[in-house]
A = this chain, B = another copy of it.
Amino acid sequence: MKAQRVEMFVCPSAAPADTSGLQALADAGKIRPDTLVALVGKTDGTGFHDDWGRIWADAALRDWTARFLGVPTDEVAKHVIFVLSGGCPGVITPHIAAVTRQWVEVAEPAGDKRLVVGRAGSDAIAPEEVGRMGMMRKVAAATHEAMTDAGITEPKDVHLVMVKVPGLTVASIRDAESRGHTVVSHDLTFGPEGAGSYANDAAALGVAMALGEVPESKLSDDVVRRDWDLYSEVAMTSSGGEKRHGEVVVFGNSSASVSPLVIGHSVTKDFIDAQGVRDALRSAGLQFNDGLPDESDLDRLVHVFAKSVIPGSDVVRGQHITLLDDHNAYQIGKALGGMLVASVTGRTTNYVSGGERNSHQGPPGGNIVAAVVRVG
């Protein structure tokens, strides 16, 4: 039978256009044109709407990948999924994680489940679909397609679904309205009524629909950013104005895998819940005492993916916080998630996206954390 062998390599980036880490992996033969399936990263910059760091990183990485694969730049997306999340405030080191997948022939399924990955692009998502059912359905379809690609049939084996969807821009709103459509919001920020938040949240509900976390009958345009009891525990979504299609990468465990890696996940119960981060590491098989992994544990911890969505309530464990009234809440909220994860992992190369207020990613007030651990 065919089994996957998945690897993940984390390269810090000195600047948005820095591809030297990828080149070193290529030179060492660790990534090959026929094995590279995804690039997932955090890019240097503010993370705001006019953060050119992320746009530049996207352009530079696509150029590099096109040369690496020997295909035209506009065909890169057919071969490799890009999920770049902008903004590294605080203690989040800009980095790119390269994910490779090989298919190997094995005699029988392994005794334990190991990491598999699958990916899919969605149909084009029009500006008027952003943040609405149209986006949910297209993301759900792509999630199913990505699970099939990963060889996962049981939703419980899915531990992380990364989705990147189109946001809105001044230009795309103009386009939609010129064709007689409305858009979900004219606010281009990630504030509570911002288009970026609606896009991220419809994408999360699309994942929840695909995995059966929320029945389709409960979903409609009206529940987005209104009914917080509907959510996914494994969807990490982000959005950018320059995209036209959704991109989905599913990570899970399967017995049809000979990967040396395992993935696990958990959720934090609130914004300061370091225990939730520990739970995620332990769910992937990492053992440690007194709250902190030691150096040998860290050698086995390949990567952590976490969201840092700001809670909808200004009360944390019974006390008032001022974050919701803060002009810089988006950036500070993301930075705080970076610290929460780093305070447990003891390192700064963690993938942490977020900053938006309230989300269908994770339960109300809490956030999703996934961890990849080396076992082989």
Interface residues of A (CB under 8 A from B): 12, 14-17, 44-46, 48-53, 55-56, 59, 88-94, 170, 185-189, 191-194, 225, 271-272, 274-275, 278, 289-292, 312, 314, 316-317, 319-328, 331-333, 335-336, 338-340, 342-344, 346-349
When distances are taken between beta carbons in the complex, the residues of chain B under 8 Å from A348 are 272, 316-317, 319, 321
Nearest CB on B from A13, distance (A):
9
Residues A272 and B342 in contact, CB atoms below 8 Å apart: yes
For residue A16, which residues in chain B have a CB less than 8 angstroms away from its CB? 52, 56
Of the candidates B50, B94, B271, B344, the one whose C-beta lies within 8 Å of that of A45 is: B50
Looking at chain A's contact residues, is the secondary structure mostly helix, strand, loop, or mixed?
A: loop
B residues near A92, Cβ cutoff 8 Å: 321-322
> Complex formed: what's the CA distance from A185 to B225 in Å?
11
Known: A46-B326, A187-B192, A272-B348. 8 other contacts (CB 8 A): A44-B52, A50-B325, A50-B326, A93-B321, A185-B193, A193-B194, A275-B292, A332-B335
B325 touching A170, Cβ below 8 Å: yes
Which of chain B's residues has its CB closest to A311's CB? Answer: B91
Inter-chain CA distance A170–B326, complex, in Å, is 12
Copies of the protein in its oligomer? 4
For residue A188, which residues in chain B have a CB less than 8 angstroms away from its CB?
192, 324-325
How far apart are the CA atoms of A333 and B332 in the complex, in Å? 9
17 contacts between A and B (CB under 8 A): A17-B56, A17-B59, A46-B327, A48-B327, A52-B52, A52-B53, A56-B56, A89-B332, A90-B333, A186-B193, A187-B193, A191-B194, A274-B274, A289-B290, A290-B290, A317-B347, A339-B339
Residue of B17, B51, B322, B343 touching A272 (CB-CB under 8 A): B343
Q: Do residues B194 and A314 form an inter-chain contact, with CB atoms below 8 A?
A: no
Residues of B contacting A14 in the complex (Cβ-Cβ under 8 angstroms): 320
Contact (A274, B292) CB under 8 Å given A325-B188, A340-B339? yes
Q: Return the chain B residue nearest A327 by Cβ.
A: B48
CB neighbours of A346 from chain B (8 A): 272, 317
| Contact among B15, B191, B335 with A187 in the assembled complex (CB-CB below 8 Å) | B191
Say whether A349 contacts B290, CB under 8 Å: no
CA distance A289 to B14 in the complex (A): 38
Complex: how many Å from CA A339 to CA B347? 15
Return chain B residues, CB-CB under 8 Å to A274. 274, 291-292, 343-344
- Nearest CB of B to A47, in Å: 10
Q: State in angstroms the CA–CA spacing of A17 and B172 once bound together.
A: 20
Cross-interface CB contact of A49 among B52, B89, B325, B349, cutoff 8 Å: B325
Q: Closest residue to A313 on the B side, CB-wise?
A: B170
